[in-house]
């Protein structure tokens, strides 16, 4: 469904993404060279056994002239699918893909599968040409095709996908997705090779969560834009705090298990407190110790005449607190297949193990009810629905109440809660994400032409100017490790959690004591598409610390 363009969108349609010269060079001058070994998966033997045709291959770097196998232009028939949660820049992957396919050969064609991977299974698709794609250039959202979270896993699903690709005579399918979707792309690639389906499967690394990141993938697309939107808002809230001098703002941030979004926003906005779930897990912190830490900050700031503050809370926090994890597991075990059971409370009082019952009883009443009521179709607690930001407010207020009774706290504590997620997932891509995704789309087309199946498109040197990025296909299987899924050891892409020894976390850790006490708030402001490069072409703090000079 084409939306009615705003003035900014109309202007942005004309934006020409900047890309490394190699990506727009005549195709016949280009080739992929197997330049160096890919990373070694954590459990190489298991991966090799499961992926005999696609494991163990080297990195394929895009080179100009002198390539072992120069690319030979021919019409390419390609499909593209958007998978999982939307991320800014998805439409530019499609635009880059379309432009490169046309540059490769005027008779190339592109179809878009509708509604995510289910579109492949059911053969639901639309033809993508310039007329269709033009209004979506440099826009946010996945609404050109829609998205979906279906997986292609079972034999039946793999066969249905093969049938669709054969029927459409596709040379390639480009899968735009996160860790699970790219894992799925590798499964599909292996299956197609095994069954002589002549369709290459190429991945493109997407997710605002920032957790699809490794030796070869410097950043997943969308992280830059989404964190800038959240940082804009947190920056504004951080201006409001010392203006109104009245509220502590607890801001929960999307990002699933990983705390990359929270860490990036903390580095960009310098809140008083930012919780990093990976650190909580590593330290074995209890909920009480987390609450104590926040209460300490509230008390210290109250003493210096600052009854206000900003606290960032990652979405995944609650699962990383060991005692809460245990409680959730115990509740799930106890209440499985009893969704909607009105006697859940009595059952919990009777049968919950003593340690978890003690944790449960210390939670505020509203949250006890939420844990019992908000369960999914299988009766499991829906962790993503737990309002951690409100839970923390209640618990901090209770702790400060105890301190007040003891005479150790005399200040005020009023709080506001926020949850930022949907506000940024479909923002129009920043210049960085617009450039990055367009270039990834062009690279995916070249990988498709080269028949490099089971590879993910990667660009390196992202901290520097687009013109100097280097392009390569990296075997997805090289990013695998083995996890237990549905009780079976399964190779999947290793999800990148925040590295507690990495520069972004260390930078945060070195400053947070000062940020807790001072008003060090920083206001990055909204994404700028025009103007001086220091604002229009900025990178995330995370990327600069990890990959900058």
Q: How far is the CB of 242 from its own copies (least distance, A)?
A: 4
Query: Comparing C-alpha atoms, which of 44, 66, 42, 71 is closest to residue 473?
Result: 71
Burial class (CB in 10 A: 0-12, 13-18, 19+), 424: buried
Contact 453, 441 (CB under 8 A): no
Catalytic-labelled residue, pool 99, 103, 179, 209: 209
3-state secondary structure of 273: strand
Calculate the CA 536 to chain-centre distance. Answer: 22
Rounded CA separation 288/368 (Å) = 16
Q: How far is the CB of 3 from its own copies (least distance, A)?
A: 5
Of 218 and 232, CB closest to its own copies: 232
Of 260 and 418, CB closest to its own copies: 418
Q: How far is the CB of 1 from its own copies (least distance, A)?
A: 4
Q: How far is the CB of 530 from its own copies (least distance, A)?
A: 3
Q: How far is the CB of 146 from its own copies (least distance, A)?
A: 5
Residue 375's DSSP bridge partners are 381
H or E element: which one contains 61? strand 59-64
Alpha helices in 245-286 (DSSP H): 260-269, 277-283
Q: How far is the CB of 344 from its own copies (least distance, A)?
A: 16
Q: How far is the CB of 536 from its own copies (least distance, A)?
A: 8
Alpha helices in 26-134 (DSSP H): 44-50, 90-104, 117-122, 130-133
Of 114 and 327, CB closest to its own copies: 114
Instruction: Give the tokens for residue 201.
Output: 């499967």
Rounded CA separation 104/24 (Å) = 10
What is the β-pairing status of strands 248-253 and 309-314? parallel
Q: How far is the CB of 272 from its own copies (least distance, A)?
A: 13
Of 194 and 376, CB closest to its own copies: 376
Q: How far is the CB of 15 from its own copies (least distance, A)?
A: 11
E strand intervals along 428-548? 455-460, 470-475, 480-485, 488-493
Backbone angles phi, psi at 180, to 5 degrees: -65, -45
Instruction: Give the tokens for residue 211.
Output: 């957790």
Of 236 and 470, CB closest to its own copies: 236
Q: Is 209 a catalytic residue?
A: yes
In terms of residues, how long is the chain? 549
> Cα–Cα distances in Å, from 121 out to 113, 150, 193, 298, 380?
9, 10, 18, 53, 29
Rounded CA separation 487/489 (Å) = 7
CA angle 438, 441, 442 (to 5 degrees): 90
Of 213 and 418, CB closest to its own copies: 418
H or E element: which one contains 457? strand 455-460
268-294 burial, b if ≥16 CB within 10 A, otherwise e?
Answer: bbbbbbbbbbbbbbeeebebeebbbeb
Rounded CA separation 526/503 (Å) = 25
Of 36 and 414, CB closest to its own copies: 414
Of 379 and 424, CB closest to its own copies: 424
Interaction site with its own copies (CB under 8 A): 1, 3-9, 11-12, 85-86, 115, 139-143, 146-147, 229, 232-233, 235-240, 242-245, 247, 249, 270, 416, 418-419, 422-428, 519-532, 534-536, 538
Query: How many beta carbons lie within 10 A of that of residue 411, not counting itself?
Result: 16
- How far does the chain reach from its first CA to its final CA, in angstroms? 43
Tokens 């016949």, located at residue = 28
Of 249 and 512, CB closest to its own copies: 249
Q: Which residues are catalytic?
A: 209
């Amino acid at each position: 469904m084409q939306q009615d363009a705003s003035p900014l969108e109309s202007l942005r349609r004309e934006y020409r993404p900047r890309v490394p010269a190699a990506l727009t060079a005549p195709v016949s001058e280009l080739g992929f060279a197997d330049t160096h070994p890919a990373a070694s998966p954590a459990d190489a033997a298991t991966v090799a056994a499961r992926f005999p045709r696609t494991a163990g291959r080297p990195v394929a770097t895009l080179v100009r002239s002198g390539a072992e196998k120069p690319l030979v232009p021919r019409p390419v028939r390609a499909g593209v699918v958007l998978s999982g949660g939307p991320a800014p820049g998805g439409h530019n992957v499609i635009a880059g893909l379309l432009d490169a396919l046309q540059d490769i050969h005027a008779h190339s064609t592109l179809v878009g599968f509708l509604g995510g991977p289910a579109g492949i299974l059911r053969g639901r698709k639309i033809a993508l040409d310039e007329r269709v794609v033009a209004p979506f250039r440099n826009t946010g959202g996945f609404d050109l095709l829609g998205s979906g979270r279906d997986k292609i896993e079972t034999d039946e699903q793999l066969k249905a996908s093969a049938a669709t690709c054969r029927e459409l005579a596709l040379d390639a399918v480009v899968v735009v997705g996160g860790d699970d979707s790219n894992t799925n792309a590798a499964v599909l690639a292996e299956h197609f090779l095994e069954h002589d389906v002549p369709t290459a499967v190429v991945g493109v690394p997407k997710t605002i969560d920032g957790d699809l990141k490794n030796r070869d993938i410097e950043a997943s697309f969308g992280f830059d834009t989404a964190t800038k939107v959240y940082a804009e808002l947190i920056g504004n809230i951080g201006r409001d705090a010392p203006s109104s001098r009245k509220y502590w703002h607890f801001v929960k941030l999307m990002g699933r298990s990983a705390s990359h979004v929270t860490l990036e926003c903390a580095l960009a906005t310098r809140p008083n407190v930012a919780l990093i779930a990976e650190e909580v897990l590593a330290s074995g912190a209890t909920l009480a110790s987390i609450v104590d830490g926040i209460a300490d900050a509230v008390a210290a700031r109250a003493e210096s005449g600052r009854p206000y503050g900003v606290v960032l809370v990652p979405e995944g926090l609650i699962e990383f607190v060991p005692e809460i994890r245990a409680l959730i597991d115990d509740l799930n075990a106890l209440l499985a297949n009893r969704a909607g059971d009105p006697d859940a409370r009595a059952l919990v009082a009777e049968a919950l193990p003593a340690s978890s019952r003690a944790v449960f009883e210390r939670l505020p009443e509203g949250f006890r009810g939420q844990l019992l009521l908000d369960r999914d179709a299988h009766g499991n607690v829906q962790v993503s629905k737990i309002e951690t930001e409100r839970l923390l407010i209640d618990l901090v207020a209770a702790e400060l109440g105890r301190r007040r009774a003891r005479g150790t706290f005399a200040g005020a504590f009023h709080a506001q809660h926020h949850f930022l997620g949907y506000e940024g997932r479909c923002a129009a891509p920043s210049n960085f994400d617009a450039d990055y995704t367009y270039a990834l789309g062009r690279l995916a087309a070249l990988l498709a032409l080269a028949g490099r199946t089971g590879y993910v498109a990667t660009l390196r040197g992202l901290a520097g100017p687009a013109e100097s990025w280097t392009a390569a296909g990296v075997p997805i299987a090289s990013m695998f490790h083995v996890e237990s899924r549905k009780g079976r050891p399964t190779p999947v892409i290793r999800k990148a959690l925040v590295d507690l020894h990495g520069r972004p976390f260390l930078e945060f850790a070195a400053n947070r004591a000062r940020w807790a006490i001072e008003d060090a708030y920083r206001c990055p402001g909204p994404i700028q598409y025009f103007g001086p490069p220091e604002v229009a072409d900025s990178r995330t703090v995370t990327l600069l610390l990890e990959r900058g000079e």
